[in-house]
Amino acid sequence: MAKVRRTAPSAKGRKAKAADSKTAGRLAKVDSTKAAKRTSPVGPPTKKRTDKSVKRTAPLKLRSFERQINVRLLTIDDFEAMVELELRCFAGMQPWQKDQIESQLKIFPEGQIGIEYQGRLVASSSSVIVDFSEYAEWHDWKLIADDGYIRNHNSEGDTLYGIEIMVDPEFRGMKLSRRLYDARKELTRQLNLQRIIIGGRIPGYAAYADNATAREYAEYVLGKDIYDPVLTPQLANDFVLRGLIPGYLKGDEDSRGYATHLEWANLDYVPAGKKQFKAVAVVRLCAVQWQMRALQSFDDFTHQVEFYVDVASDYRSDFVVFPELFTLELLSLVEPLSPGKAPPGPGHAARQLASYTTQYLNLMTDLAVRYHINIVGGSQFTLEDDCLYNIAYLFRRDGTIGKQYKIHITPNERRWWGISPGNTQEVFDTDCGKIAISVCYDVEFPELARFAAHQGARLLFVPFNTDESHGYYRVRHCAQARSIENHLYVVIAGCVGHLPFVENSDIHYAQSAVLSPCDIPFSRAGVAAEASANIAQVVLHDVDVEMIRRHRMTGTTRNWKDRRTDMYRIVFGEGEDAVEV
């Protein structure tokens, strides 16, 4: 039997092919802010130009666009910042004393959480564990919180009690309370507690107290007729209103002394003596089917992007993915050349679009942090040195950025835009596990997804841009194949509509979808969710990445496990950096 081994080109072939590039032949790199790089050095191949009139553009330094947001445990060094934060949040109320904070940190440090943004403490929460049966009425904050000292903390208790949450008014609207509540929920799951109980303020009540009782006010808030700056976010974070507590904080004039009794139930709670049989790791995905349109200003583009990010965030999505080159509509803002004047070189329009990359990076980074969501930002043309690349950027909700160069360039992209190919397949660490991105045409090459799966990716995002149904179905069918071959969820997102003024991108065809392996535990035909064809839409779907892990070992067919590596293999890179898959 003949044995076939798929490898990198021979040394002689590589030398001939890489005459203009020091990095040619290296096609694999794991990109992560937390994990060590395993493959070739960062960077795309470069091309030398003899035209000295071309201005060389240095690669953008993504760190200059990143935002530093960090959810961490509080320390005593945060005390002064906490006092300042409390004075801004609760004017007129007595702030924490240092001995109270010292006691909290000594007794239950895991329950004292802060959020730091760009080096500044902008939010915090304090908690204590108690036995639910001992505080059934939840009527006295000083009693339950031990006047802030939490000496009543019971590590054997079943309930996490939220003493306080503070969010700096200057930074409200950045989903900081959601981050704090998510951290509390995760702590509750880790400690196998049954519930979270909070006694929440209703500071908006003061404006209605002369005409409504506290119960009536709460009902208006529940019905979304009134927005309360504390109760409304708590309800949005899955807390259930159990009742009202009069005289809870007598010094709280805005709430007229009232507090809400709210509860969040831990569905993962396991009573003593029982076992949890199957792990679940749910990730919520949102794919945007983007309507291309002419713009009057960059603000028009900003408002449309923010609308979709806001929708995805409101539905608690972990990821929102935009299509490849959905930014092409920005070309409607570019001044046309004078009649009869020839373009200065190939890809003139694409290079004009690249002038918006800085604004695009700032916009997406800000939205990812402010809306607490990971954004796969479609792709955007970017100039590095004198070469033009099509790059998909990942904007993590912790403020960091990654990028995936499009590796395979179509004939039309070379002809019309002069796009240069990238040279690295990235695998990114995120707070939902490892992911990878294949930009449109790249998904038609199975080796890239195979490498990503080998490096631990469970989610593959495919932003695409196709003009008619044949091109779309090439992407769609290949994406489905990559899902089956590698036991991956694959998310495809494309553009619809027309741009009559943009050559090579004037018409669009798309039907965005979330695809899965074809097997009994998954959706029929391997289509977890899909949009209607050719209309602006979003696709929202929950996937269980733990099921993907199990399917690789126990599926009806086990494509990954049953590969004939005795007959064929894929080798990425060379020498000590080579990765065999």
pLDDT in tens, 275-319: 555 566 899 999 999 999 989 999 999 999 999 999 999 999 999
pLDDT in tens, 130-148: 987 776 555 677 788 888 8
Burial class (CB in 10 A: 0-12, 13-18, 19+), 276: exposed
Instruction: Examine the residue annotation and report whether 440 is marked as an active-site residue of this protein.
Output: yes
Give the model's confidence band at 217: pLDDT under 50 very low, under 70 low, under 90 confident, else very high.
very high
Tell me the DSSP string of 82-103: HHHHHHHHSTTSPPPPHHHHHH
Catalytic option among 185, 403, 406, 434: 406
pTM reported for the whole predicted model:
0.78
Asked if the domains 26-42+56-67+283-336+345-580 and 70-265 are classified in one and the same CATH topology, the answer is: no
Across 30-34, 171-175, 239-243, least confident range = 30-34
Please give the Cα distance from 294 to 268 (Å, whole number).
48
Q: Architecture of 70-265 per CATH?
A: 3-Layer(aba) Sandwich (3.40)
Amino acid at 14: R
Give the model's confidence band at 37: pLDDT under 50 very low, under 70 low, under 90 confident, else very high.
very low
pLDDT in tens, 524-568: 899 999 999 999 999 999 999 989 888 888 889 888 888 888 898
Catalytic option among 89, 286, 387, 440: 440
Close Cβ partners of 568 (under 8 Å, ≥ 6 residues apart): 3, 4, 5, 6
Taking each helix axis from N to C terminus, what angle separates 446-454 and 469-486, rounded to the nearest 10 degrees?
A: 30
Please give the Cα distance from 271 to 255 (Å, whole number).
37
The confidence score (pLDDT) of residue 341 equals 54
The confidence score (pLDDT) of residue 235 equals 92
Catalytic option among 66, 116, 164, 324: 324
Arithmetic mean of pLDDT over the chain: 85
The reply to whether CATH 3.30.200.20 applies to domain 26-42+56-67+283-336+345-580 is: no
CB 96 within 8 A of CB 148: yes
Give the model's confidence band at 186: pLDDT under 50 very low, under 70 low, under 90 confident, else very high.
very high
Give the model's confidence band at 273: pLDDT under 50 very low, under 70 low, under 90 confident, else very high.
low
Close Cβ partners of 544 (under 8 Å, ≥ 6 residues apart): 280, 281, 282, 283
The confidence score (pLDDT) of residue 1 equals 40
Phi-psi region of 571 (alpha: psi -120 to 50; beta: other; left: phi over 0): beta
Close Cβ partners of 474 (under 8 Å, ≥ 6 residues apart): 444, 466
Instruction: Examine the residue annotation and report whether 406 is marked as an active-site residue of this protein.
Output: yes
Predicted confidence (pLDDT) at residue 19 exceeds the cutoff of 60 = no
Predicted confidence (pLDDT) at residue 499 exceeds the cutoff of 90 = no
Q: What percent of the chain has pLDDT over 90?
A: 60
Predicted confidence (pLDDT) at residue 349 exceeds the cutoff of 90 = no
Predicted confidence (pLDDT) at residue 8 exceeds the cutoff of 50 = no
Tokens of 55: 């201005």
Predicted confidence (pLDDT) at residue 430 exceeds the cutoff of 70 = yes
Average pLDDT over residues 158-178: 92
Burial class (CB in 10 A: 0-12, 13-18, 19+), 254: buried
CA nearest 190: which of 151, 149, 166, 160? 160
Tokens of 295: 């713009």
| Domain range list for the chain | 26-42+56-67+283-336+345-580, 70-265
Predicted confidence (pLDDT) at residue 6 exceeds the cutoff of 70 = no
CB 439 within 8 A of CB 404: yes
